[in-house]
């Protein structure tokens, strides 16, 4: 567990400095600093509404930052936009699955694989390989909207993987799955990391987070309140008071 | 052709041969003009389908491009003596460029608001052409419009027999169908269908949504405007009501929805059926019941939206899934939720 190293010497792949988002008068994310190292699994936890997904949206370019800066492999990204971030190598999934219901499962994944394969036959082959990997090959010809929730979550991961990212942002891909499914998807995430991919994961299933994450960042009310190894985080009084304690009582 | 089954290729070939031969051997008389318009509507519906059906840009103002194509070609011909064959292409390009200029601000508006913006723009441009006798110093004729100089020379796209306009419209229809088929099987086609459902998710997969929307709108506007040029030469007359008509734009959209938006043949079938029905009502009732075709279009749209949201092609696929051989679920089997929600 928390296996592979990840000391501070590892190359920082993705870094956010003072990332801030306001919606009118609401401060959703407040000057959060975040650094993801190579082949690291960085957990992002916090209560509902803490700003985790908003932070994801800014890192992935889906939503503009109000303030702050993003660096990818040390280079500042001037104007993060979703399609540019993906082209750079930052893939993401959505908390609420977003299938293209007018396409089959295979075609859904092809939309991702086209990024690196212009020819349809190559994109199709690459997409099918990813589907095999996430265990959805048998559903390849189903309509995207005809999948069950666990299958939809796998398809979300498959689509992001099909873009061949360097950094993968996983937004609650474990929540709602049964224990067998959880085990399968955790194995998949570990395999992906073992290949050199860096991962940030948002999740409320603490057992999975503790098992998967090399480091954890805790966000509450838009601000980072703690950062450290999982065993440090579970001991952190502020984290217990604002999040983990609440979970235990829930 | 790669990607088309042998039986479909043969069926398509037979339909095309019949479409070429039958009007030549049947004496259609004055009905030929109506037939040209049926084919032109099939063509416009297929052109609308590129942006509305595939890419989800639900424009209610494609009449704008018909008008731009018609006026650019018309004014180049009448004022500068440019052959309508060339003017038609220039009109198409002008409409394409205009669509990109319009697209830049309007693509940031989503769903219904985009549709309303295109509708408002059509009205605004129509108003300009109706009230201005000259635009940029060129004589536009205001609400009276202007006539094409009649010389019956094929080099000036003028034919004594309307059969040739029919063939011209048919050729355009074949071209736009081939382009649509190519799009649907290619990367750009998958991207169009992805942004149709969810632009944000597509963007997160590396799709440049704004660029794709501009490409869809450019293609659609280009083809639509070319049809506007042919339409004008068929009528040998141009005025704001005949080419910037709101009815025209809305009817094109209805034809696609009825036939099945986002499918290759849906727009052709929808336009064919509704345009023929329109012709039937006009012939049967004439001036006695002037609004009957409009009522028919509206009722048909409501029936389709409520009961067969995938249009006739969607219905066909559902029946095939239910009674035919077990086949994998295809895109046509999935209702176009996005489209339904817009009404």
Round to whole Å and give the CA distance between B300 and A218.
56
Round to whole Å and give the CA distance between B182 and B192.
13
Q: What is the pLDDT of residue B26?
A: 87
Asked whether the beta carbons of residue B329 and residue A143 sit closer than 8 angstroms, the reply is yes
Q: What is the pLDDT of residue A114?
A: 97
Q: Which residue's entry shows tokens 């059969």?
A: B163
User: Averaged over B123-129, what is the pLDDT?
Assistant: 93
The pLDDT > 90 percentage for chain B reads 57
Residue A212 has pLDDT above 90, yes or no: yes
Nearest to B313 by CA among B278, B271, B267: B267
pLDDT tens-digit profile of B194-233? 999 999 999 999 999 999 999 999 999 999 999 999 999 9
Question: In terms of CA atoms, which chain B residue is nearest residue A110?
Answer: B190
Q: B93 pLDDT band (50/70/90 cuts)?
A: very high
The reply to whether A163 touches chain B by the CB within 8 Å rule is yes
Q: Which of residues 56-75 of A touch B (CB under 8 A)?
A: 60-62
**Could you give the residue ranges of the DSSP H alpha helices within A120-216?**
120-134, 149-162, 179-194, 206-212
State how beta strands A12-23 and A67-72 pair. antiparallel
Q: Is the dihedral of CA A211, A212, A217, A220 positive or negative?
A: negative
Q: What is the DSSP letter of B292?
A: H
Asked whether the beta carbons of residue A115 and residue B209 sit closer than 8 angstroms, the reply is no
What would the DSSP string read from start to end of B28-63?
A: -TTHHHHHHHHHHHHHHHHHHHIIIIIS----S-TH
Q: For residue B116, give how far its alpha carbon lies from the nearest alpha carbon of chain A (Å).
A: 25
User: Averaged over B231-257, what is the pLDDT?
Assistant: 91
Question: Cα B145 vs. chain centroid, distance in angstroms?
Answer: 23
Q: What is the DSSP letter of A244?
A: I
For residue A32, what are the β-bridge partners? A19
Round to whole Å and give the CA distance between A177 and A160.
19
pLDDT tens-digit profile of A155-170? 999 999 999 999 999 9
Structure ipTM: 0.89
| Max Cα-Cα span within chain B | 64
Round to whole Å and give the CA distance between A146 and A93.
18
Find the length of chain B: 343
Round to whole Å and give the CA distance between A152 and A108.
11
**β strands within chain B, DSSP E:** 134-135, 138-139, 146-147, 237-238
State how beta strands A41-45 and A198-202 pair. parallel
Copy the structure tokens of residue A170. Answer: 């996983």
Q: Is A241 left (phi over 0), alpha (psi -120 to 50) or beta?
A: alpha
Q: Are B259 and B266 in contact (CB under 8 A)?
A: yes
Residue B343 has pLDDT above 80, yes or no: no
Round to whole Å and give the CA distance between B61 and B295.
20
Report the number of distinct structural domains present in chain B.
1
Upper half-sphere CA count for residue B306 (Cβ side, 13 Å): 6
Q: Give a yes or no: residue B1 inside a domain.
A: no
Nearest to A19 by CA among A48, A73, A56: A56
Q: For residue A243, give how far its alpha carbon lies from the nearest alpha carbon of chain B (Å).
A: 30
Q: What is the pTM of this model?
A: 0.87
Question: In terms of CA atoms, which chain B residue is nearest residue A112?
Answer: B205
Round to whole Å and give the CA distance between A107 and A140.
8
Round to whole Å and give the CA distance between B231 and B245.
13
The better pLDDT of the pair A34, B2 is held by: A34
Helix axes B209-235, B163-184, angle to 10 degrees: 170
Q: Are A59 and A11 in contact (CB under 8 A)?
A: no
Copy the structure tokens of residue B285. Answer: 């009732």
Q: Give a yes or no: residue B299 inside a domain.
A: yes
The better pLDDT of the pair B3, A87 is held by: A87
DSSP H/E element including A35? strand A26-37
Copy the structure tokens of residue B164. Answer: 């040739």
Can you give the residue range of the structural domain that contains B138? 6-340
Q: What number of C-beta contacts closer than 8 Å exist between A and B? A: 97
The reply to whether A100 touches chain B by the CB within 8 Å rule is yes
* Domains defined for chain A, CATH in brackets: 10-89+167-174+200-250 (3.40.50.300)
Q: B341 pLDDT band (50/70/90 cuts)?
A: very low
Q: Give a yes or no: residue B67 inside a domain.
A: yes
pLDDT tens-digit profile of A100-133? 988 999 999 999 999 999 999 999 999 999 999 9
């Amino acid at each position: 567990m928390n296996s592979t190293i990840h000391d501070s010497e590892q190359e920082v792949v993705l870094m956010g400095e003072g990332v801030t988002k306001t919606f009118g008068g609401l401060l959703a994310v407040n000057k959060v600093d975040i650094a993801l190292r190579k082949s690291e699994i960085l957990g992002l936890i916090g209560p509902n509404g803490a700003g985790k997904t908003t932070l994801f949206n800014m890192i992935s370019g889906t939503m503009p930052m109000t303030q702050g800066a993003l660096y990818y492999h040390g280079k500042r990204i001037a104007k993060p936009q979703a399609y540019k971030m993906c082209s750079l190598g930052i893939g993401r999934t959505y908390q609420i699955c977003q299938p293209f219901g007018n396409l089959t499962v295979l075609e859904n994944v092809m939309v991702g694989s086209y990024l690196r394969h212009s020819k349809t036959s190559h994109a199709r082959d690459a997409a099918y390989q990813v589907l095999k990997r996430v265990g959805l090959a048998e559903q390849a010809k189903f309509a995207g909207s005809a999948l069950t929730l666990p299958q939809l979550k796998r398809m979300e991961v498959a689509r992001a993987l099909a873009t061949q990212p360097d950094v993968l942002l996983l937004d609650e891909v474990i929540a709602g799955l049964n224990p067998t499914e959880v085990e399968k998807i955790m194995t998949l995430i570990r395999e992906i990391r073992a290949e050199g991919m860096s991962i940030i994961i948002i999740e409320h299933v603490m057992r999975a987070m503790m098992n998967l994450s090399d480091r954890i960042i805790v966000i509450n009310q838009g601000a980072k309140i703690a950062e450290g190894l999982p065993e440090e985080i579970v001991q952190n009084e502020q984290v217990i008071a604002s999040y983990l304690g609440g979970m235990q009582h829930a | 052709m790669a990607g088309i089954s042998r039986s479909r290729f043969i069926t398509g070939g037979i339909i095309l041969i019949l479409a070429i031969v039958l009007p030549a051997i049947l004496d259609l008389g004055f009905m030929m003009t109506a037939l040209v318009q049926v084919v032109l509507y099939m063509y416009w519906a297929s052109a609308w389908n590129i942006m509305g059906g595939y890419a989800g840009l639900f424009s209610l103002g494609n009449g704008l491009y018909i008008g731009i194509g018609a006026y650019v070609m018309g004014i180049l011909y009448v004022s500068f003596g440019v052959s309508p064959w060339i003017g038609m292409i220039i009109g198409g390009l002008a409409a394409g460029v205009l669509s990109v200029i319009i697209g830049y601000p309007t693509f940031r508006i989503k769903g219904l608001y985009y549709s309303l913006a295109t509708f408002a723009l059509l009205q605004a441009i129509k108003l300009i052409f109706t009230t201005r006798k000259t635009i940029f110093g060129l004589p536009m004729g205001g609400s009276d419009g202007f006539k094409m100089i009649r010389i019956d020379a094929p080099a000036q796209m003028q034919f004594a027999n309307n059969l040739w306009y029919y063939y011209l419209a048919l050729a355009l229809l074949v071209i736009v169908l081939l382009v649509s088929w190519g799009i649907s099987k290619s990367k750009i086609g998958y991207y169009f269908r992805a942004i149709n459902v969810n632009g944000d998710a597509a963007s997160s997969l590396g799709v440049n949504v704004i660029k794709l929307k501009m490409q869809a709108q450019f293609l659609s506007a280009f083809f639509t405007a070319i049809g506007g040029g042919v339409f004008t030469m068929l009528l040998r007359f141009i005025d704001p009501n005949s080419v910037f008509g709101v009815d025209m734009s809305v009817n094109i959209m209805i034809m696609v929805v009825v036939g099945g938006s986002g499918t290759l043949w849906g727009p052709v079938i929808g336009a064919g059926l509704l345009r023929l029905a329109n012709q039937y009502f006009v012939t049967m009732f004439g001036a006695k019941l002037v609004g009957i075709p409009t009522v028919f279009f509206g009722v048909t749209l409501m029936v389709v939206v409520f009961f067969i949201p995938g249009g006739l092609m969607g219905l066909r696929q559902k029946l095939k899934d239910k009674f035919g051989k077990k086949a994998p679920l295809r895109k046509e089997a999935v209702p176009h939720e996005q489209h339904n929600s817009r009404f």
